[in-house]
Amino acid sequence: MIIKVCGMRDTSNIRAIEQAGPDWMGFIFYPPSPRYVSELPDYIPDSVIRVGVFVHPKFQDVIQHVKDFHLQTVQLHGKASPEMCQSFREKGIKVIRAVPVTETFVSETAEYVGKVDYFLFDTPTLKFGGSGQSYDWSLLSRYPGPTPFLLSGGLSPDSVSSLQKFHHPCLVGYDINSGFEISPAIKDVASVKKFIDQIKTTQP
């Protein structure tokens, strides 16, 4: 299972969380977010996949951030057309398309099939993620694939037992953020490490 720790910014916290063993680390480039990254941290980890998170992205702005922050993957929320997603992939950038899980979410994924590498199924919120709120995971049973997805939205240290009981053939990972924070952009290292260890033990 892929474990993505999102909403990172503080250099010392980045170093500590890297040691906890996540696979991916997310950096948010959306100014209204309390986890907004306005400048390059003093340390960017090499041992994880670096993911830039964008809302209503503009193509050249994303490309510039990819270069400046040495990103390998972009996660796109809001208005991001299938054609834009495909253009990033043509430049060697992997693409995660965030999709709020509503009653109609399956139809919203259809036009992106073959144009993105992953979906991220998240809680519907005006904040575009980081709300700390969960949703009814049973809705995900409607998703037919084939694109793999990460489960996100309100995950916390208390979510482990429920996650261990949830199964879907296209589920490849989890995205954790606000439920593991001491304060915005500062993660509780012990909680993150325990979560990763528990998930990796049962769902490698």
Distances in whole angstroms, Cα of residue 164 to Cα of each of 160, 168, 173: 6, 11, 12
Tally: H helices and E strands in the chain: 6, 10
Q: Is 6 a catalytic residue?
A: yes
Question: Which of the residues 85, 122, 175, 188 is marked catalytic?
Answer: 122
Question: Look-up: residue for tokens 């993150």?
Answer: 192
Cα separation, 197 vs 201, in Å, equals: 6
State the DSSP H helix or E strand holding residue 49, giving kind and residue range, or none if neither.
Answer: strand 49-55
Cα separation, 9 vs 2, in Å, equals: 20
C-alpha dihedral sign at 160, 161, 163, 169: positive
Q: Is 122 a catalytic residue?
A: yes
Q: 195, 124, 138, 196: which is closest to 168 by C-alpha?
A: 138
Question: Which of the residues 6, 85, 175, 188 is marked catalytic?
Answer: 6
Catalytic residue numbers, as ranges = 6, 122
